[in-house]
Amino acid sequence: MNKRWGYIWCLLLIFTVWSCKPEAKWKTKDVDIFIDINTLSACFVECKFETNKDAYFLISITEARNNYDPLDPGNQKQFMTLAIDSANMEYIAWRNALLQQGEFNIAPFASHALQYGSTDHFFTGLKQNTDYWVYAFVVNPETLTPCGRLYLERIHTAPTSTVKIKFDYRVKGYWDYCYPLDSTGRINTHYPYTGLTHDSAELAESGITPKEVFESWLELKREYPYQENAFFGVKAVENDGLDDHAVFQEGHTYYTAITGLDGDISSSVVYKFVWNGYFCEYYFTDTDSTNILKKGVW
């Protein structure tokens, strides 16, 4: 009996010691990361990250610097440590914002900021015609320290958009929706675009035509093609038009302009509709765009 219990206690001790080792929970040694660059446009890039073993790892992108090589043995550890520090600062800000909202069930750093297993990821908000480093490395989630080597791919964003997009627009009752669709008709969730809705009656009172206001708006977007308030995916707005420039009123005529911001102004449309209250419903496609602007501008 004593020998039996001694054997059981021995097994429990071995299991306890084994389960306390970080390697029992995640792999940090001999992990290889493979980076594939898929769609590369002007303001976004799609990347696939795969590992040969399940491990926590950090992925990120940063603008490339001249006269500095992150892969140099003398720079790797510092580069990875600073990347973890940056990710941790973003995590703390996110966590504190949730705490202030009264949310106390908050994901740990590893679940929120790190990847585990293969993943596809879009990096957005990039500058066109610019060099970037896409990188990844294994992280010990207990100590928040880098493990192993740095994996890095240098990319160069396109000068203009490489993705064809069309915008469908729907007005239904008190809501309007914008759908950015790719060439297959699927919703594109990473293409940056923006929109503007104006009441023609308000424009008439100020002596400005829809043509003039949209041409001015377009020139501004040409000068500053990417802004932090760009839309992504489906945009749904209740009773105030895109970009909050109009509050729908019974019987008023509205114009909504939509344009892509992927490195240049492209795929632009202008839709016209009369709002007739709750029962109002329009569904516009690319071919319904008005011709209020001079040829060649849009």
Residues 88-147 have pLDDT tens digits of 999 999 999 999 999 888 999 999 999 998 999 999 989 999 999 999 999 999 999 999
Q: Is residue 231 part of a domain?
A: yes
| DSSP-derived 3-state class of residue 247 | coil
Q: For strand 175-181 and strand 235-238, is the pairing parallel, antiparallel, or unpaired? A: antiparallel
Asked whether the predicted pLDDT for residue 5 surpasses 70, the reply is no
What is the chain's Cα-based Rg?
26
Domain closes at, from 156, 182, 210: 156
∠ Cα 89 80 75 (to 5°): 135
Domain closes at, from 156, 179, 196: 156
pTM: predicted TM-score of the whole model, two decimal places: 0.78
If asked whether residues 126 and 189 sit together in one domain, one would say no
If asked whether residues 150 and 38 sit together in one domain, one would say yes
Q: What is the mean pLDDT of residues 163-167?
A: 90
Q: Is residue 273 part of a domain?
A: yes
CATH number at residue 87: 2.60.40.10
Please give the single-letter amino acid code of residue 279. Answer: F
CATH number at residue 262: 2.60.40
Q: Is residue 6 part of a domain?
A: no
More confident: 239 or 277: 277
Q: Is residue 233 part of a domain?
A: yes
Write out the H or E segment, with its range, that includes residue 87: helix 76-100
Asked whether the predicted pLDDT for residue 164 surpasses 50, the reply is yes
Q: Is residue 69 part of a domain?
A: yes
Show the tokens assigned to 230. Answer: 């760009």
If asked whether residues 184 and 221 sit together in one domain, one would say yes
If asked whether residues 123 and 231 sit together in one domain, one would say no
Residues 237-258 have pLDDT tens digits of 886 677 666 678 889 999 999 9
Domain closes at, from 156, 186, 219: 156
Q: Is residue 8 part of a domain?
A: no
Asked whether the predicted pLDDT for residue 9 surpasses 80, the reply is no
Show the tokens assigned to 105. Answer: 């069930």
| DSSP-derived 3-state class of residue 275 | coil
Number of domains in the chain: 2
Please give the single-letter amino acid code of residue 98. Answer: L
Distance CA 151, CA 80 (A): 10
* Beta strand extents in the chain (DSSP E only): 33-40, 44-51, 56-63, 115-116, 119-124, 131-140, 145-156, 166-172, 175-181, 193-199, 235-238, 253-260, 266-274, 281-284
Q: Is residue 12 part of a domain?
A: no
Domain that holds residue 149: 24-156
Residues 112-126 have pLDDT tens digits of 999 998 999 999 989
Residue 218: name the closest of 255, 181, 257 by CA.
257
If asked whether residues 137 and 236 sit together in one domain, one would say no
Question: Is-contact 195 148, C-beta < 8 A?
Answer: no
If asked whether residues 29 and 148 sit together in one domain, one would say yes
Residue 248: name the closest of 192, 202, 294 by CA.
202
If asked whether residues 225 and 137 sit together in one domain, one would say no
If asked whether residues 29 and 149 sit together in one domain, one would say yes
If asked whether residues 48 and 140 sit together in one domain, one would say yes
If asked whether residues 57 and 77 sit together in one domain, one would say yes
Q: Is residue 7 part of a domain?
A: no
If asked whether residues 44 and 135 sit together in one domain, one would say yes
